[in-house]
Amino acid sequence: MAEPGAAAVGLGRAGSGGGAEGAGAGPLLPREENGVDGRAIRVGTRRSQLARIQTDSVVTMLHELYPDHHFEIVAMSTTGDKILDTALSKIGEKSLFTKELENALERNEVDLVVHSLKDLPTSLPPGFTIGAVCKRENPLDAVVFHPKNCGKTLSLLPEKSVIGTSSLRRAAQLKKKFPHLEFRDIRGNLNTRLKKLDEKEDFSAIILAAAGLKRMGWENRIGQLLGPEDCLYAVGQGALAVEVRAKDQEILNMVSALHDADTVLCCIAERAFMKHLEGGCSVPVAVNTLLKDGQLYLTGAVYSLDGSDSLKETMQTGVSYPHQNEDGPNDDVQHVGITAKNVPGQAQEAAENLGVELASLLLSKGAKHILSVARQLNDAC
């Protein structure tokens, strides 16, 4: 059940005033109709500290753009937050961290929802769209070491050191790169996982997204950044997405100002790659994108669970197109769930085609077999 938070107008991060849950808040009621005039705009989010920090950052940007509007944060728990004793890849639910938020959006209990883009499936439920993809934080993975291993790198850890990660993608790549290490699942939010690392002797290090650590103010815990030569990242990693009702034009127009064009194009390519492969968190799929001088470079890879079998390729395409007035019957066209009217449509199409073509190339070389075996082995474990 969702609980309304106190009014938030972009005054700091969760726990510091802006967006903190308020005692005695009224019941969460659906809106009678779409529209924002004179009413608080309700922003849905997960309860975790990181989710609240991310949501507060989006609300802050919106309030700077629309100082006359009033924003409220509505925090709720999701399936992924509640199931903490099972690896994410084994739960079998595509919308682990989004379903409850989307239910509230469908019932008009919130007007928009802030997600980590990597949590959003490549196919959204009917009636929803990603109305904004904010400027991406560092998408790389990071290693956080147990205090006794400070100053080391993964290659310098002793034989059979245990590394914690909840990601099949990370484990598959790092098992091949660092065969002397062992990998074990670790669940929980960032706070919980860091506590498990620091207070016990179970793990020598854990792998986390650098973006989350930075947003939490814990950059000093990063002992090693994993570049593309060590570990390609997850589709959409490091980017925040704002999901809205596709037909709520006022809210869609409002949040569209948050789009970062470069991030939009990179993430469209990544999501198209993932969608065409029919990948997800239950199989190891990884990417790396670079946008430079009007050229979008996409590296995509698939792996067996132990990393012994893999396919990796890179393709590129031009995405330097002028912005044209595209109002008309296709003005709200979606590209893998993203509506970005302020980004040239031809560039979006080129990015989506790049992802599809790269996935097709890997499929032609045997990616379907690798992913099928990985999925079967994961289900059997």
Give the tokens for residue 231: 């570990």
What are the Cα distances from residue 195, in Å, to 76, 161, 192, 312? Answer: 23, 18, 5, 35
What are the Cα distances from residue 76, in Å, to 325, 342, 370? Answer: 39, 31, 37
What are the Cα distances from residue 369, in Å, to 273, 277, 373, 379? Answer: 16, 11, 6, 15
290: amino acid identity, one letter: L
Q: Which residue has the tokens 């799929």?
A: 285
Helix 49-65 × helix 190-199 angle, to 10°: 140
272: amino acid identity, one letter: A
Reduced to 3 DSSP states, what percent helix, strand and coil does the chain have, rounded to the nearest 5?
Answer: 35, 20, 45
User: Maximum CA pair distance of the chain?
Assistant: 62
Structural contact between residues 256 and 132, judged by C-beta atoms closer than 8 angstroms: yes
Catalytic residue, candidates 119, 141, 230, 248? 119
What are the Cα distances from residue 237, in Å, to 158, 159, 181, 263, 345? Answer: 30, 30, 25, 11, 23
Structural contact between residues 243 and 129, judged by C-beta atoms closer than 8 angstroms: yes
CA distance 110 to 130: 15
Q: Is 119 a catalytic residue?
A: yes
CA distance 354 to 209: 25
Torsion of CA 5, 9, 15, 17, to 10 degrees: -110
Structural contact between residues 121 and 280, judged by C-beta atoms closer than 8 angstroms: yes
CA distance 278 to 281: 11
Give the tokens for residue 208: 């986390």
Structural contact between residues 163 and 181, judged by C-beta atoms closer than 8 angstroms: yes
CA 333, distance to chain mean position in Å, is 22
Neighbours of 131 (CB within 10 A): 27
Question: Which residues are catalytic, by number?
Answer: 119
